[in-house]
Structure formats: structure tokens, C-alpha cells
Amino acid sequence: MGLGFTQADVVGADSEQVTELFYLFPINDKINIKPDLQFISSPSGDKSVSDLLIFTLRLTAQF
């Protein structure tokens, strides 16, 4: 499980902040699933754009 925070200063705009929460679910010794939830405040440094809540699902496999 992990939690991350990133802030990017955008030239000519405000900063963008991203908070991320993820967890790694091992399926077996070579395959993992990682759901990820991100909250993005001021996308592209533009406060007139609504904040975003994004869910992604990543599948990784080792060969």
C-alpha cells in the first residue's frame, strides 16, 4: 500500500497538486494488479477547472 503527494509549479499559472493512494494485489509470483486512486487539485494549474478524482487499474506481468 502506498500514499503519494506531488506538486507541480506550472509556468504562468498556479500549481497543480496530486494525491495518490494505491495498493498492490499479487495474483501469483509473476502477476500483480494495482488499483490507484488520484485526486488532482487545480489540473494544469488552472483554478477555473474542476478538481478531478481518477481511478485506474494496472496489471503487471513478469516474463
Number of domains in the chain: 1
Which residues, at least 6 apart from 18, have a Cβ–Cβ distance to it below 8 Å? 4, 5, 6, 7, 8, 38, 39, 40, 41
Q: What is the pLDDT of residue 52?
A: 96
Q: What is the pLDDT of residue 6?
A: 95
Domain that holds residue 15: 2-61
* Cell (9 digits) for 3: 500514499
pTM: 0.79
Q: pLDDT tens digits for 13-59?
A: 889 999 999 999 999 999 999 999 999 999 989 889 999 999 999 99
pLDDT for 11 beyond 90: no
Alpha-carbon gap, residue 49 to 44, rounded angstroms: 9
Phi/psi at 4 (5° precision): -135, 155
Alpha-carbon gap, residue 28 to 1, rounded angstroms: 17
